[in-house]
Amino acid sequence: MLAFYADSGKMEVNPGGDQTDTAAAVRSAKAEAVLRVDHVTKSFGPLEAVRDLSFEARPGEIIGLLGPNGAGKTTAIRVLSTILSPTRGRFTLGGIPHTKPGAIRQQIGVLPESAGYPLHQTGAEFLRYHARLFGHPARSAREIAASLLVEVGLAERGSSSIATYSRGMRQRLGVARALVNTPSVIFLDEPTLGLDPAGQRQMLALIRDVAGQRGATVILSTHFLDEVEEVCSRVIILNRGEAIAEGSVADIKRRAAPRTVRVHVPPEMHDEALSALTQAQGVARVDSIDKERGWLTATFDSAWLDEHGGVPINSAIRALIDVDVLILSFELEGGRLSDAFLSLTEEGRR
Amino acid sequence: MTSLARSDYRLRSAAKAPAYGWLVVAVQELRDIWLSWRGPIIVFAFSLLLSLLTYLAATNKELNIIDQRDTVNMVVQITLGIGVAVSLLFGADTVSGERERETLESLLLTPVPRRQIGLGKLLAAVSVWPVLMLVAVPYVWTLKAGPGLFANAVVAGFVVGSLLTAAFASLGVIVSILSNSNRLSLAASFFVFVVLLAPTRIPLTGWFGDHIARINPVTAGSRFVDRVIVTNHSLGQEWTLLIAPVVAAVIALAVAFVVADRLRLQGGIDR
């Protein structure tokens, strides 16, 4: 399935997407930014937990906030959700400046990383209470609670005490709580942490629905890169409080793009492939893998990659096709988001 | 999982800061106290204690060696002590308890102003006092020695208790806002209470002792009740003894009002 990435202007393969996502992405690209973050820094004494963070988010976008432990993801979310005030910089949400936290809170929904729940309350009571805190009268709060319980798949457990809920059910209840005020921006801090695969799938579907059907912007902090690839339209990678990369998933992959391709050809075509790759544009070196015939790696020149957009795939494939070498497999080494993430953050160097 | 319905969108888009956020918080906190075991079990234990005391005072001639006025005074003083202590502990649990249970962040993410959150929690914390006083009224009626004593005892107890409860529940809320640990909050608040309560058990005589008793809101309040019930003074005669409880209540409420505005996810004033 194809999706249009507004920031790159290119159509990219989006395996988790569908036509609705594409339409939403186009709508999103045309819309005004709902969240504008401008050089926000948050310090705790001498420690800068978030440093000079700037980005914009549009309606319907799902932005993945990635980073290793201690990168500043939770602090960034707490600043943007007005729990902490920025030390420097500013941000606006729906045009409301960060100096009006009460007004911003009316526009956002948050699932905190360590969300606790009053275990003696029922799910319905919990949602009713929060709907009341957002200014809804009692009757409306009841209707909202009932409707949200249906939406997050907890309708049958709404009258059970939260103490009896599983981790996944509590997380879904937390998402429901974040939706009681119909927020324009939703911050989800590690929403799938501790969930089993089925729970993770349910949560991701819910997140996609929130962005797709409500047109809400979702800022998703997570450790799980697969999730980001699946649901996020854009990614911001934080490391030691600093945004070290921002762009679409495809952009990020390209930015840490591999300099090496791994090619599998029939053993009898090994020499032809070796020769073709050696002469291919931008290739600095070609090696046989473990002297095994049919397996080759081609390493590209960095300067050439920078000049040509960092995509070596076309040049290498073209060289092989030109000499009629059958390509059994062709793989970019390090072409996954996890590779990009590791190479961009310090974890990759440990 | 069902998909999100658009039909309810308009219904929910009315989100705004509630005009009476403090009331919403207070009602929920009251439910938590009175519909759970905490409030009812305290009232039950308290009424059990008063029943025992009243029974002994009313029926056991050998044990009933103290004057009836003293017995009424004892009932009112016990009600005061327990009411103030429980309100203090409820106040001390309000914020730091939510921090420990990790439910505070969700509350802070609502548009309800911090002061209203603090006010709602404070009101719930003091709710135990009028209930305990109400429970004590029939016991005071049973033990009363004369027609004037009942009214004076109830009014004196209610006035002093209300002032001290407001002061100490506010103190609990203040400590709770500033403390990251619930245990620390409860211990610090209770320590202050015990320090102020201790002089009521010590005979404070002479100029210095009298001034200490008048400055300390607990001893001053206790003396006021004692003189109204035991010495049979009128309420107006001993009004100067109410100065310390009034000042304590006003200062504690004012400080709580200021500190509540700086309620944060972590303890301390501002970060």
Q: Looking at beta carbons, which residues of chain B come within 8 Å of A137?
A: none
Contact A214 B9 (CB under 8 A): yes
CB contact under 8 A, B4 and A112: no
Pairwise CA distance, residues A291 & A261, whole Å = 16
**The two three-digit tokens of residue A120, written as one number:** 């003696």
Structure confidence at residue A30 (pLDDT) = 58
DSSP secondary structure of A273-322: HHHHHHHSTTEEEEEEGGG-TTEEEEEE-HHHHHHTTT--HHHHHHHHHH
Question: Are A209 and B16 a contacting pair at CB < 8 A?
Answer: no
Model-level pTM?
0.79
Q: What is the least distance, in Å, from the CA of B182 to any CA of chain A?
A: 15
- For chain B, give the mean pLDDT: 86
Enumerate the residues of chain A whose CB falls inside 8 A of the CB of residue B261. none
Nearest to residue B85, comparing CAs of B162, B168, B158?
A: B168
- Rounded-to-integer distance, Cα A128 and Cα B24, Å: 11
Distances (CA, A) of A251 to A228, B17, B232: 13, 40, 86
pLDDT(B150) > 50? yes
Show pLDDT as tens, one digit a residue, over chain A (350 residues): 223 223 333 333 333 344 444 455 555 555 688 999 999 999 998 999 999 999 999 999 999 999 888 889 999 999 999 999 999 999 999 999 999 999 999 999 999 988 899 999 999 999 999 999 999 999 999 999 999 999 888 999 999 999 999 988 999 999 999 999 999 999 999 998 878 888 888 889 889 988 888 889 999 998 888 888 889 989 999 988 999 888 888 777 766 666 778 899 999 999 899 999 998 888 888 888 876 788 998 888 877 777 776 555 678 888 899 999 999 988 877 667 777 777 777 554 44
User: Per CB distance under 8 Å, which residues of B are interface residues toward A?
Assistant: 1-6, 8-9, 11-19, 21, 24-25, 28, 32, 36, 101-103, 105-113, 265, 271
Residue B201's SS3 state is: helix
Report d(CA A321, CA B193) in Å as an integer: 86
Average pLDDT on B127-134 reads 94
Per-residue DSSP letter, A135: T
Q: Do B12 and A144 count as a contact with CB atoms less than 8 A apart?
A: yes
For chain B, the maximum distance between any two Cα atoms, rounded to a whole number of angstroms, is 77
Residue spans in chain A of domains classed CATH 3.30.70.920: 260-333
Which of B8, B103, B271 lies closest to A44 in CB terms? Answer: B271
H or E, element range at A43: strand A35-44
- Residues from chain B contacting residue A132 (CB–CB below 8 Å): 18, 24
| A:B CB pairs within 8 Å | 116
B2: chain A residues, CB-CB within 8 Å: 150-151, 153
Interface contact B18-A135, CB threshold 8 A:
yes
Report the residue of chain B nearest A141, measured CA to CA.
Answer: B12
Q: Which residues of A touch B23 (CB under 8 A)?
A: none
Of A314, A327, A274, which is closest to residue A296 (Cα–Cα)?
A274
How high is the pLDDT of residue A76? Answer: 95
Distance between start and end Cα atoms, chain B: 41
Please answer whether residues B56 and B138 qualify as being in contact, where contact means their C-beta atoms are separated by less than 8 angstroms: no
How far is the alpha carbon of A42 from chain B, nearest alpha carbon, in Å?
A: 10
Question: Which residue has 């709404």 as its token pair?
Answer: A158
- pLDDT tier for residue B171 given thresholds of 50, 70 and 90: very high
Q: Has residue B1 got a pLDDT over 50?
A: no
Contacts of B116 in chain A (CB under 8 A): none
Nearest residue on chain A to B27, alpha-carbon basis: A129
- Which residue of chain A is at minimal alpha-carbon distance from B29? A129
Q: Give A100→chain B minimum CA distance, Å.
A: 10
Nearest-CA distance from B172 to chain A in Å? 21
Return d(Cα A115, Cα B126) in angstroms, integer: 28
Whether residues B2 and A179 touch (CB distance < 8 A) is answered with no
Return the DSSP state at B240. Answer: G
| Facing residue for B108 by CB, picked from A83, A116, A210 | A83
Q: What is the mean pLDDT of residues B195-207?
A: 78
Contact A12, A25 (CB under 8 A): no
Burial class (CB in 10 A: 0-12, 13-18, 19+), B235: middle
Mark yes or no for CB contact B109/A105 under 8 Å.
Answer: yes
Whether B4 and A209 lie within 8 Å, measured CB to CB: yes
- Which chain B positions have a beta carbon within 8 Å of A117's beta carbon? 103
Closest B-chain CA to A150? B2
Q: Which residue of A has its CA nearest to B23?
A: A133
Query: What is the per-residue pLDDT for A107?
Result: 93
- Chain A residues inside the 8 Å CB shell of B1: 152-153, 202, 205-206
Q: Kindly report, as residue ranges, where domains of CATH 3.40.50.300 are found in chain A.
A: 2-117+165-249
pLDDT band of residue B19 (cuts 50, 70, 90) is: confident
- Whether pLDDT at B148 is above 90: no
When pLDDT is averaged across residues B173-202 and rounded to a whole number, the result is 88
Comparing C-alpha atoms, which of A51, A43, A90, A63 is closest to residue A240? A51
Residue A180 and residue B113: Cβ atoms within 8 Å? Answer: no
- Alpha helix (H) ranges present in chain A? 19-30, 73-80, 101-105, 123-133, 138-151, 167-178, 197-214, 225-231, 249-255, 270-279, 302-307, 313-322, 337-344
Q: What is the CA radius of gyration of chain B?
A: 21
* Chain B residues within 8 A of A110 when measuring between CB atoms: 105-106, 109
For residue B196, give the amino acid letter. L
SS3 for B165?
A: helix
Interior angle at CA B54, CA B50 and CA B56, nearest 5: 120
Distance CA A215, CA A58 (A): 9
Disruptive mutation site among A134, A170, A195 for chain B (greatest number of B CBs within 10 Å): A134
**DSSP code, position A266:** -
Closest Cα of chain B to A135: distance in Å?
A: 4
Q: Give residues with Cβ within 8 angstroms of B8, minimum separation 6.
A: A143, A144, A147
- Residue pLDDT, tens place only, A287-319: 888 767 889 988 888 777 777 765 556 788 888
pLDDT tens-digit readout, B72-92: 888 999 999 999 999 999 999
Q: Which residue has the higher pLDDT, B71 or B156?
A: B156
Topology classification of domain A260-333: Alpha-Beta Plaits (3.30.70)
Q: Which two tokens stand for residue B222?
A: 């206790």
Vertex B216: Cα angle to B213 and B219 (nearest 5): 55
| CB contact (8 A) between residue B11 and residue A153 | no
Distances in Å between the alpha carbon of B159 and those of A145, B76, B164, B221, B238?
A: 42, 11, 9, 9, 13
User: What is the pLDDT at residue A147?
Assistant: 93
Q: Do B15 and A214 touch (CB under 8 A)?
A: no
Q: What is the ipTM of this complex?
A: 0.85
> Is residue A10 a contact partner of residue A248, using CB atoms and an 8 Å limit?
no
Asked whether the beta carbons of residue A147 and residue B5 sit closer than 8 angstroms, the reply is: yes
To the nearest whole Å, the CA of A119 is away from the closest chain B CA by 10
β-sheet bridge partners, residue A35: A57, A93
User: Is the confidence at residue B121, as pLDDT, over 90?
Assistant: yes
Q: Out of 3.20.20.70, 3.30.70.3000, 2.40.160.20, 3.40.50.300, which CATH number does the structure's domain A2-117+165-249 have?
A: 3.40.50.300
pLDDT the model gives residue A304: 78
For residue A4, give how far its alpha carbon lies from the nearest alpha carbon of chain B (Å): 24
Amino acid at residue number B187: A
| SS3 call for A108 | strand
Kindly identify which residue of chain A lies nearest to residue B4, measuring between CA atoms: A151
Alpha helix ranges (H) inside chain B: 9-12, 21-34, 38-59, 68-100, 104-108, 114-126, 128-143, 147-178, 182-197, 206-215, 217-229, 243-260
